[in-house]
Amino acid sequence: MSDAKGKSDPMQVDDRDLILKARQGNIAAFEQLVQKYDKRVFSIASQYVQSSEDAKDIYQEVFVRVFRGLPKFELRSEFSTWLYRITTNVCLTHRARSRKHNHASLDDRHDDEERHGRPLKGSVRDEEATDQRLIDSEISSKVRQALKSISAKQRMVFTLRHYEGYKLKEIAAIMKCSEGTVKRYLFTATERMRSQLKEMME
């Protein structure tokens, strides 16, 4: 996310140095840029499409576009804003290449972590934890269904605000629109989500 320190931010200075080196053909510098932002890019993609395979496709396309567009990137603006703008654009225009991947959820990965990454602490606690996971999973499923009921841009604004924690001003910069437009998208998305979830819960 952006920083109030502006040009004095060492992160930005570091980005500038890496960008200049990458433009000169330094692959290691470009890889450093990727490593610096790849988790956030993948997070935005996975929350938006809610499919691990689609998120990977988006992730790859984003950094291909970044690599190709780097020579034209204007150093006057923040690299992170430009990168996340590319990410949102790829998300908004993304179409799954194969129907068989449409239902591949990131929840599978989280379930594996629950099964293999955490020790058991007693049968009673295990049952309670399992029940809670089932409840959480059901709620997550309903939220995913509700997200599908809103428009692409509304879903992106909702994702950036509630899942990624961006401020309205930052979202406006990423999506190249006014804060008023972002507020309108967010309000409409929230109202429709509430309506959809209320119907599902009933």
Sketch out the chain's domains with CATH numbers.
1-118 (1.10.1740.10), 121-202 (1.10.10.10)
pLDDT in tens, 106-140: 444 444 444 444 444 444 445 555 545 554 556 66
SS (H, E, C) the chain: CCCCCHHHCHHHHHHHHHHHHHHCCCHHHHHHHHHHHHHHHHHHHHHHHCCHHHHHHHHHHHHHHHHHHHHHCCCCCCHHHHHHHHHHHHHHHCCCCCHHHCCCCCHHHHHHHHHHCCCCCCHHHHHHHHHHHHHHHHHHHHHHHHHCCCCHHHHHHHHHHHHCCCCHHHHHHHHCCCHHHHHHHHHHHHHHHHHHHHHHHC
pLDDT exceeds cutoff 60 at 6:
no
174 or 142, which is more confident: 174
pTM across the whole model: 0.68
Count of C-beta atoms within a 10 Å radius of residue 137: 14
* DSSP helix, strand, coil percent of the chain (3-state; round to 5): 80, 0, 20
Q: What is the dihedral of CA 94, 97, 98, 102, to 10 degrees?
A: -20
> How many Å apart are CA 133 and CA 111, to the nearest integer?
9
pLDDT in tens, 12-59: 558 999 999 999 989 999 999 999 999 999 999 998 987 888 999 999
pLDDT of residue 119: 44
Q: Two tokens at 97?
A: 């290449």
pLDDT exceeds cutoff 70 at 161:
yes
pLDDT of residue 12: 53
> How many Å apart are CA 122 and CA 186, to the nearest integer?
43
Q: Two tokens at 86?
A: 């590319």
pLDDT exceeds cutoff 50 at 149:
yes
